[in-house]
């Protein structure tokens, strides 16, 4: 069984600057690889594979020395993302679905780095060790099980950092054998009715926490009436962070995860 374990990490100011710089470089590489595939098909009618683009990485590092600061397998994973996007695009075309062509990514929306095989680990002090970045403080609130396959560093919209370990060969938890039987009828207002006469109320945590989020969206500049200065206005970024924080509390609430 496969399972992912997510932990909060706390990089220093210097490490956070390095992470943001590497995310910007990976975003630039993603958009460049996407543009190369588009232009090759538009001008020559040819498709470019992952192997061809991956072979260009040494030349890119020679021309752009700043890419030397990024771990090589992280850069290869960026090209894998482009390759997966085009494979999914052609799969939808063959299936007759609405394809949706792969699009360029903004630096604000490219928010993860993946170490697919190596370059990461946990030291004796319980800190996360990343190649080309250093040792980051990590809150490991529970031990992970199985064999770690990949390590993904994620930046949330509010600037929080997380690490996600994708593990394989995780033994499933065995529940004790029970001979009792019960019928369940799932409803709308009430979550479930049991054949024993009991009922489970719906906590409606999403709807309850979404109400203040609606007020923030209404007051957000650009939602109903565009601000004079657009995104450069003084009110835009604080309002954007307020909306992101509200969405983070709503979608990532512990009450929803525990339910």
With tokens 């369940």, the residue in question is 184
Residue percentage of the chain with pLDDT more than 90: 56
Residue 179 lies in a domain: no
Question: Final residue of a domain: which of 107, 141, 171?
Answer: 171
Q: What is the pTM of this model?
A: 0.79
What is the residue-averaged pLDDT of the chain?
Answer: 85
Say whether both 29 and 141 belong to one domain: yes
Say whether both 120 and 206 belong to one domain: no
pLDDT of residue 220: 52
Q: At what angle do helices 236-251 and 205-219 cross, to 10 degrees?
A: 170
Separation of alpha carbons 153 and 138, rounded Å:
12
Say whether both 26 and 108 belong to one domain: yes
Say whether both 133 and 217 belong to one domain: no
Q: At what angle do helices 72-94 and 13-44 cross, to 10 degrees?
A: 40
pLDDT of residue 76: 97
With tokens 């339910």, the residue in question is 259
Say whether both 147 and 199 belong to one domain: no
Closest CA to 232 of 248, 216, 218, 221: 221
Say whether both 253 and 142 belong to one domain: no
Number of domains in the chain: 2
Residue 121 lies in a domain: yes
Burial of 99 (0-12, 13-18, 19+ CB in 10 A): middle
pLDDT of residue 217: 56
Residue 180 lies in a domain: no
pLDDT in tens, 36-54: 999 998 898 888 999 999 9
Residues of the chain with pLDDT under 70: 205-233, 237, 246-259
The domain containing residue 227 runs over which residues? 186-258
pLDDT of residue 232: 56
């Amino acid at each position: 069984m496969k399972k992912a374990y997510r932990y909060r990490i706390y990089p220093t100011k210097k490490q956070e600057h390095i992470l943001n710089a590497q995310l910007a470089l990976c975003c630039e590489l993603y958009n460049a690889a996407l543009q190369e595939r588009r232009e090759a098909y538009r001008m020559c009618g040819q498709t470019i594979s992952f192997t061809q683009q991956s072979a260009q990485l040494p030349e890119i590092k020679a021309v752009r020395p700043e890419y030397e600061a990024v771990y090589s397998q992280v850069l290869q994973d960026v090209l894998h993302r482009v390759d997966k996007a085009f494979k999914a695009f052609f799969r939808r075309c063959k299936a007759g679905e609405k394809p949706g062509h792969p699009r360029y990514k903004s630096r604000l929306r490219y928010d993860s780095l993946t170490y697919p095989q190596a370059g990461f680990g946990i030291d004796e002090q319980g800190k996360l060790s990343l190649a080309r970045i250093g040792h980051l403080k990590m809150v490991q609130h529970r031990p992970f099980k199985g064999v770690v396959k990949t390590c993904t560093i994620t930046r949330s919209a509010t600037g929080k950092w997380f690490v996600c370990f994708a593990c394989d060969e995780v033994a499933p938890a065995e529940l004790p054998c029970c001979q009792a039987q019960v019928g369940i009828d799932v409803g709308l207002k009430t979550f479930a009715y049991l054949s024993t006469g009991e009922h489970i109320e719906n906590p409606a945590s999403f709807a309850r926490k979404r109400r203040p989020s609606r007020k923030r969206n209404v007051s957000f500049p650009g939602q109903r009436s565009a601000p004079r200065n657009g995104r450069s206005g003084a009110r835009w970024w604080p309002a954007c962070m307020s909306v992101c924080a509200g969405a983070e509390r709503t979608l990532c609430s512990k009450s929803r995860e525990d339910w």
